């Protein structure tokens, strides 16, 4: 289900302003819930969704011929997880003969969003196909169309939708679609790389090669492709040449790099890569721990302790971050070494994994597109383990 909250809030601000103007200048007559409608929009904007819904129900009951209150009530119901009732309301509006063109567009897009939320992707496509061409000037059309194609499993058409949107949507939304297209294709490329589908991965990388800001993630996918192909030399080369200045991407790639080096008997080749990467100010703590563990495996505990001492006091240096190295100390070292490292840590422990800040969806691998809520740029980085299919 695609999130409607950002779109809904923006639409509500406009709707509230329009309602206020209308209530101020309309011809005096017996009120039919106008004040309740404006209050409902205000409650919605403030996050009081149950109160907003109660007020909107009152408005549509008192004025069954209204359009905007029915439209907004349906949108609110979908936001609250009741897309089925939302679809009933919005479908009822589509048969009204007195809708203006803007209202027809809003109702059609709302119904398509309802059907997307219900997983009725074919139905959503039919609704979007029947909308007047002017609907393509609306940002919401392209986001709803993207969700529909992705839901159908037609990832190529979904990507094409994101790519084409900037040509017709409002200018202020074009950068969002460009970034979304890059994230979507990179996410697909990463999935292909992990599955050993290098041809498809390369094709997706070609799609984004000219988009600013994508180079670190492109290089990450290329490095993963080399590792999956057991190309130790290629993996080391890409990590050394292209990922040292991108600690977050290197952090994602490192477990896979070390695995392929271990299998090829070249485990120590990751040492200089890690040492240089850990010098970066924005290097994640997991890189420090990886380097400390590598020192430990090579019999250089003094270097491991010295490295961690240099990071002592940083808020990100938590028990969760240090857990792999602490386990090594518990299993194979005097208690004093364990205590020494433990005392360096900051509390409380940080969260692990990659999670979507928009819907809470969790994944073991890095994501640049949330498959649950269709959010872009919503996954927060953390400890990540990549598994080769």
| SS3 assignment for 27-84 | CCCCCCCHHHHHHHHHHHHCCCHHHHHHHHHHHHHHCCCCCHHHHHHHHHHHHCCCHH
The tokens describing 168, both together, are 């017709």
Beta bridge partners of 355: 362, 380
State residue 140's pLDDT score. Answer: 97
Higher per-residue pLDDT: 187 or 324? 187
Higher per-residue pLDDT: 362 or 12? 362
Residue 188 sits in the same domain as residue 283? yes
State residue 4's pLDDT score. Answer: 39
Higher per-residue pLDDT: 281 or 5? 281
Q: What is the residue range of 85's domain?
A: 5-175
Picking from 244, 196, 184, 195, the residue whose alpha carbon sits closest to that of residue 220 is 244
DSSP single-letter state for residue 363: E
Mean pLDDT of 140-151: 97
Mean pLDDT of 260-267: 66
State residue 267's pLDDT score. Answer: 62
Residue 146 sits in the same domain as residue 48? yes
**Mean pLDDT estimate for the chain:** 80
Whichever domain contains 74, its CATH number is: 1.25.40.10
Higher per-residue pLDDT: 172 or 40? 172
Is 161 part of any domain?
yes
Out of 10-14, 155-159, 226-230, 297-301, the most confident range is: 155-159
Cα–Cα distance, 246 to 25 (Å, whole number): 58
Residue 161 sits in the same domain as residue 116? yes
Cα–Cα distance, 373 to 261 (Å, whole number): 37
Domain count, the chain: 2
Mean pLDDT of 97-118: 96
Residue 319 sits in the same domain as residue 274? yes
Mean pLDDT of 17-23: 41
Residue 144 sits in the same domain as residue 192? no
User: Where does a domain end: 175, 205, 221?
Assistant: 175
Mean pLDDT check: name the lowest of 42-51, 57-66, 261-270, 339-348.
Answer: 339-348
Residue 308 pLDDT greater than 90, yes or no: no
Residue 240 sits in the same domain as residue 107? no
DSSP single-letter state for residue 356: E
State residue 307's pLDDT score. Answer: 79
State residue 14's pLDDT score. Answer: 44
User: Where does a domain end: 175, 203, 223?
Assistant: 175
Mean pLDDT of 202-226: 93
Mean pLDDT of 143-151: 97
Is 387 part of any domain?
no
Picking from 202, 246, 206, the residue whose alpha carbon sits closest to that of residue 366 is 246
Mean pLDDT of 63-75: 93
* DSSP track, 156-199: HHHHHHHHHGGGTS-GGGHHHHHHHHHHHHHHHHHHHHHTT-HH
State residue 344's pLDDT score. Answer: 56
Residue 289 pLDDT greater than 60, yes or no: yes
What is each CA distance from 282 to 19, 247, 250, 361, 370, in whole angstroms? 48, 7, 12, 25, 25
CB-CB contact of 70 with 93 (8 Å): yes
Residue 236 sits in the same domain as residue 90? no
State residue 90's pLDDT score. Answer: 97
User: Where does a domain end: 175, 199, 231?
Assistant: 175
Mean pLDDT of 162-175: 96
Whichever domain contains 357, its CATH number is: 1.25.40
Predicted confidence band of residue 16 (pLDDT cuts 50, 70, 90) = very low
Mean pLDDT of 167-186: 96
Higher per-residue pLDDT: 343 or 168? 168
Is 389 part of any domain?
no
Residue 56 sits in the same domain as residue 109? yes
Predicted confidence band of residue 340 (pLDDT cuts 50, 70, 90) = low
Residue 188 sits in the same domain as residue 153? no
């Amino acid at each position: 289900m695609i999130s409607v909250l950002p779109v809904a809030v923006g639409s509500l601000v406009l709707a509230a302003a329009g309602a206020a103007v209308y209530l101020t200048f309309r011809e005096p007559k017996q009120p039919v819930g106008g004040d309740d409608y404006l209050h409902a929009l205000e409650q919605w904007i403030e996050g009081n969704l149950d109160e907003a819904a109660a007020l909107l129900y009152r408005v549509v009951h008192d004025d069954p011929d209204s359009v905007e209150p029915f439209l907004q009530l349906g949108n609110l119901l979908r936001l609250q997880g009741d897309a089925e009732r939302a679809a009933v309301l919005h479908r009822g509006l589509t048969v009204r003969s007195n809708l203006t063109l803007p209202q027809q567009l809003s109702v059609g897009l709302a119904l398509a969003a309802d059907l997307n939320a219900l997983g009725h992707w074919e139905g959503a496509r039919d609704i979007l196909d029947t909308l007047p061409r002017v609907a393509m000037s609306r940002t919401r059309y392209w986001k709803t169309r993207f969700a529909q194609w992705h839901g159908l499993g037609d990832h190529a058409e979904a990507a094409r939708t994101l790519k084409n949107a900037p040509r017709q949507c409002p200018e202020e939304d074009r950068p969002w679609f460009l970034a979304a297209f890059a994230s979507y294709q990179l996410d697909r490329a990463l999935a292909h790389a992990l599955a050993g589908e290098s041809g498809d991965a390369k094709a997706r990388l070609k799609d984004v090669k000219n988009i600013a800001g994508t180079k670190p993630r492109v290089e990450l996918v290329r490095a993963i492709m080399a590792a999956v192909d057991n190309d130790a030399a290629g993996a080391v080369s890409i990590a050394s040449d292209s990922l040292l200045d991108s600690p977050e991407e290197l952090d994602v790639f490192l477990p896979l790099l070390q695995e392929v080096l271990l299998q090829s008997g070249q485990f120590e080749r990751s040492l200089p890569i890690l040492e240089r990467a850990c010098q970066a100010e924005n290097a994640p703590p997991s890189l420090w721990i990886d380097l400390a563990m590598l020192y430990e495996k090579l019999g250089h505990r003094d270097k491991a302790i010295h490295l961690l001492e240099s990071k002592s006091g940083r808020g990100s240096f938590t028990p969760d971050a240090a857990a792999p190295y602490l386990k090594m100390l518990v299993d194979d070292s005097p208690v004093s070494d364990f205590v020494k490292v433990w005392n360096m840590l900051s509390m409380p422990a940080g969260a692990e994994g990659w999670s979507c800040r928009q819907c809470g969806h969790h994944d073991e691998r890095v994501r640049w597109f949330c498959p649950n809520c269709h959010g872009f740029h919503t996954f927060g980085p953390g400890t990540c383990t990549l598994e080769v299919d």
